[in-house]
C-alpha cells in the first residue's frame, strides 16, 4: 500500500499542475470560439487518463461508444467520483453540465465555465430556482447540446442504495430527445474524499439509448434499472479484480 500511496501522491501533484498550466494557456481562448476552450478541456482529460495509466496503473475501458447518438441528447450517468466530471465530455460535441453556482465564482476557472455555456444552480434557492434551471437546461438541449447530468444529484459510493431525483425526467420530457444512460465503476479507483488512486480496470459503459416520448415514471424506472444493473455488474467484476490484487477491496474504495 506504500507504493500506492506514493503513486497517488505523484499523480495528484501532476494532475493539478497540468490543470493550472492549462488554465494559464487557455486565457486567450476567452476571446476565441467555444471550441478552442473545449479542445483544451479534452487535452486535460486525455493527459489525465495517460497519467492514471502510467503512474497509478489504472486502465480505462470505454464500452459501447458506438451507441452514442448524434445531435441533442440527455446523458444520464452514474456518479461515483470526480473523475467522470471531466472524462466524459470528450465524447460529445457540445457538452453541457449543471454546476453549483459557487463554481462559477472561482476566479479564472469560473470564466471558463461561463465561456463554454455551463448552467449554474443555486442550491439554496428553493424549488422555483431549481425549476428555472431545469427549464434552461432543456432549452439548451433543444438547441443541439448534450446535457451530461447525474440523476442522483451527488456522488454515491459503489454499492450504495440509489436515489434518483426527478430532475432528469423533467429535462427529458421537456427536451423531447433521447437519453443515453451510462454505468461506471470509477468510485473503486478514484474514491470520494481521499487522494488515493487504486490500480485496476476502470470501466465506463454507454448503454442503449432510451427513445424520446416515454412517460415520466416509465422513463425514470427504465433509466434506474439500466444504470444500476450495468453498474452492479461492472463494480462486481472490478471488486473481484481488486481482491486478486490486494487480497480484498481497499477500504477507501468502499466509500
CB 249, CB 243: distance < 8 Å: yes
Which residue's C-alpha cell is 473481484?
Answer: 240
pLDDT at 92: 93
- What residues have CB less than 8 Å from 149, skipping those under 6 apart? 74, 75, 76, 77, 97, 98, 137, 167, 168, 171
pLDDT at 253: 61
Which residue's C-alpha cell is 447525474?
Answer: 150
Global model pTM greater than 0.85: yes
pLDDT at 21: 93
User: 148: part of which helix (H) or strand (E)?
Assistant: strand 146-149
Distance in angstroms (rounded) separating the CA atoms of residues 203 and 207: 12
Distance in angstroms (rounded) separating the CA atoms of residues 39 and 45: 10
> Phi then psi for 205, rounded to 5 degrees?
-120, 115
CB 112, CB 23: distance < 8 Å: yes
What is the distance between the terminal CA atoms of the chain, rounded to a whole angstrom?
A: 17
Task: Write b or e for each residue in 23-57: b if 16 or more Cβ atoms lie within 10 A of its Cβ, otherwise e.
Answer: eeebeebeeeeeeebbeebeebbebbbebbeebbb
User: 179: part of which helix (H) or strand (E)?
Assistant: strand 179-184
> Phi then psi for 234, rounded to 5 degrees?
-80, -25
Best CA proximity match to 215, nearest among 180, 170, 183: 170
> Phi then psi for 100, rounded to 5 degrees?
-60, 140
Q: How many residues does the chain have?
A: 255
**Percent of the residues in the chain that have a pLDDT greater than 70, as a whole number:** 96
Q: What is the mean pLDDT of each run of 10 residues along the chain (255 residues)?
A: 91 95 90 87 94 97 97 97 93 89 81 86 78 93 95 93 94 97 97 93 98 97 98 96 77 57
> Phi then psi for 156, rounded to 5 degrees?
-125, 140
Distance in angstroms (rounded) separating the CA atoms of residues 135 and 171: 7
Distance in angstroms (rounded) separating the CA atoms of residues 245 and 247: 6
pLDDT at 215: 97
CB 154, CB 220: distance < 8 Å: no
How many Cβ atoms sit within 10 Å of the Cβ of residue 243?
11
CB 62, CB 204: distance < 8 Å: yes
Amino acid at each position: 500500500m506504500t507504493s500506492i500511496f506514493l503513486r497517488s501522491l505523484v499523480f495528484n501533484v501532476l494532475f493539478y499542475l497540468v490543470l493550472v498550466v492549462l488554465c494559464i494557456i487557455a486565457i486567450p481562448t476567452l476571446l476565441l470560439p467555444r471550441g478552442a476552450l473545449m479542445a483544451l478541456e479534452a487535452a486535460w482529460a486525455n493527459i489525465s487518463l495517460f497519467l492514471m495509466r502510467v503512474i497509478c496503473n489504472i486502465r480505462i475501458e470505454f464500452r459501447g461508444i458506438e451507441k452514442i447518438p448524434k445531435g441533442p441528447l440527455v446523458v444520464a450517468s452514474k456518479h461515483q467520483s470526480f473523475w467522470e466530471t471531466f472524462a466524459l465530455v470528450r465524447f460529445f460535441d457540445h457538452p453541457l453540465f449543471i454546476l453549483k453556482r459557487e463554481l462559477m465564482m472561482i476566479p479564472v476557472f469560473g470564466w471558463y465555465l461561463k465561456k463554454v455555456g455551463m448552467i449554474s444552480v443555486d442550491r439554496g434557492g428553493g424549488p422555483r430556482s431549481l425549476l428555472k434551471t431545469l427549464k434552461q437546461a432543456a432549452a439548451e438541449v433543444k438547441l443541439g447540446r448534450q446535457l451530461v447530468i447525474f440523476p442522483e444529484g451527488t456522488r454515491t459510493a459503489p454499492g450504495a442504495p440509489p436515489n434518483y431525483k426527478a430532475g432528469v425526467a423533467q429535462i427529458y420530457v421537456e427536451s423531447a430527445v433521447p437519453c443515453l444512460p451510462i454505468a461506471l465503476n470509477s468510485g473503486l479507483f478514484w474514491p470520494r474524499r481521499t487522494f488515493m488512486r487504486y490500480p485496476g480496470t476502470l470501466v465506463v459503459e454507454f448503454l442503449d439509448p432510451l427513445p424520446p416520448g416515454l412517460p415520466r415514471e416509465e422513463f425514470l424506472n427504465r433509466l434506474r434499472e439500466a444504470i444500476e444493473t450495468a453498474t452492479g455488474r461492472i463494480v462486481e467484476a472490478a471488486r473481484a479484480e481488486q481482491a486478486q490484487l490486494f487480497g480484498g477491496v481497499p477500504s477507501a474504495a468502499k466509500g
